[in-house]
Structure 1
């Protein structure tokens, strides 16, 4: 129980200390980074699959 209260208190302090705009900006920056990583990973998988399909023997 004490651990939950501590976590909620830390979350509350973090939310108060940041302005809402900076929090939203951080979320979008992280989302953009993750999105770019996912797109590159998907392209790499597609290239790998295509190279295995069209591999000459």
Structure 2
């Protein structure tokens, strides 16, 4: 029974570290997603202006 708090503490420390790692991945993913959306919008605007310019 004395080992139970130590095991719970070790488990909690592992879970908190993994949450921080996952949080960092999601933050990086959000930044990359925002950049990707901006690039796609710029490509669409460029294509629209390219095809309108030919008429």
Matches within 5 A, 1:4-43: 19-43=17-41
Unmatched segments (≥5 aa) in structure 1: 1-15
TM-score by length of 2: 0.66
List, as ranges, runs of 4+ consecutive aligned residues in structure 1 with deviation greater than 3 Å. Answer: none
1: CA distance, partners of 2:24 / 2:54? 47
2: CA distance, partners of 1:56 / 1:32? 37
Unmatched segments (≥5 aa) in structure 2: 1-13
Larger Cα-atom Rg: 2
TM-score by length of 1: 0.64
Question: Which residue is equivalent to 1:13?
Answer: none
1: CA distance, partners of 2:22 / 2:48? 39
RMSD: 2.0
